[in-house]
């Protein structure tokens, strides 16, 4: 039986796993070429002052169009992933304000950004509706949320497996949820959603591969 979170942390294994093993696994898994191809569809749409939620790893940075970006900021709760992101920014040669933080309380002011980028992050936050409220808050009127997320399958078979697997999956994968809706959640957060795509990622199990990406414009 997998120990409960309190028991894991008492043994010290949980902290070691979260700080050492999990960041490396996330960087590797989320750098998969099939996922990278989807990033290449979404990230270049960012323009102006850009905020990235879950910036750790620096995996999106190669896809930004620097000619369209006037400023870049981001947050991530993982110290190791932040190291990767800062290394990526340094290699790219651009100034970046990359901080430790959580999406439920973003440390930037109201209407600070023209674009927000969120890729494979809403699945793992503690309070997704609050995070979306925060993303809306920091966007300027008419600003755009560019999202690429895996989530709840629209098909009953994979969705049943998602519900069965999710309790253990969350413990092993940094609070990653399999059953959260994507586009509907963005719309409920106060965005006008323009879908760009939705499908199972080739080669991944259907319970893990359902992905949606699009643009959410901050409504008035």
Neighbours of 144 (CB within 10 A): 23
Q: How many domains does the chain have?
A: 1
pLDDT attached to residue 139: 98
- From the centroid of its chain, how far is CA 116? 11
Q: Which domain holds residue 50?
A: 5-218
| Rounded distance between C-alpha atoms, residue 193 and residue 218, angstroms | 9
Task: State whether residue 47 is helix, strand or coil.
Answer: coil
Taking the alpha carbons at both ends of the chain, their separation in whole angstroms is 49
CATH code for position 76: 3.40.50.150
pLDDT in tens, 62-107: 999 999 999 999 999 988 889 989 999 999 889 899 999 999 999 9
């Amino acid at each position: 039986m997998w120990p409960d979170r309190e028991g894991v942390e008492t043994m010290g294994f949980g902290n070691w796993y979260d700080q050492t093993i999990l960041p490396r696994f996330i960087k590797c898994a989320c750098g998969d070429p099939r996922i990278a191809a989807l990033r290449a569809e979404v990230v270049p749409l960012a323009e102006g002052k850009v905020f990235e939620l879950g910036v750790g790893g620096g995996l999106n940075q190669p896809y930004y169009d620097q000619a369209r970006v006037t400023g870049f900021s981001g947050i991530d709760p993982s110290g190791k992933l932040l190291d990767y992101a800062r290394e990526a920014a340094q290699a790219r040669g651009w100034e970046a304000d990359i901080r430790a933080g959580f999406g439920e309380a973003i440390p930037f002011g109201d209407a600070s950004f023209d674009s927000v980028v969120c890729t494979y992050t809403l699945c793992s936050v503690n309070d997704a509706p609050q995070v979306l409220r925060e993303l809306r808050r920091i966007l300027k009127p008419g600003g755009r949320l560019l999202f690429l997320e895996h989530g709840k399958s629209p098909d009953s078979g994979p969705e049943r497996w998602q519900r069965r697997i999710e309790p253990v999956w969350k413990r092993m994968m940094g609070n990653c949820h399999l059953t959260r809706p994507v586009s509907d959640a963005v719309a409920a957060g106060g965005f006008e959603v323009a879908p760009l795509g939705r499908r199972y990622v080739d080669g991944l199990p259907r319970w893990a591969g359902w992905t949606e990406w699009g643009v959410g414009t901050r409504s008035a």
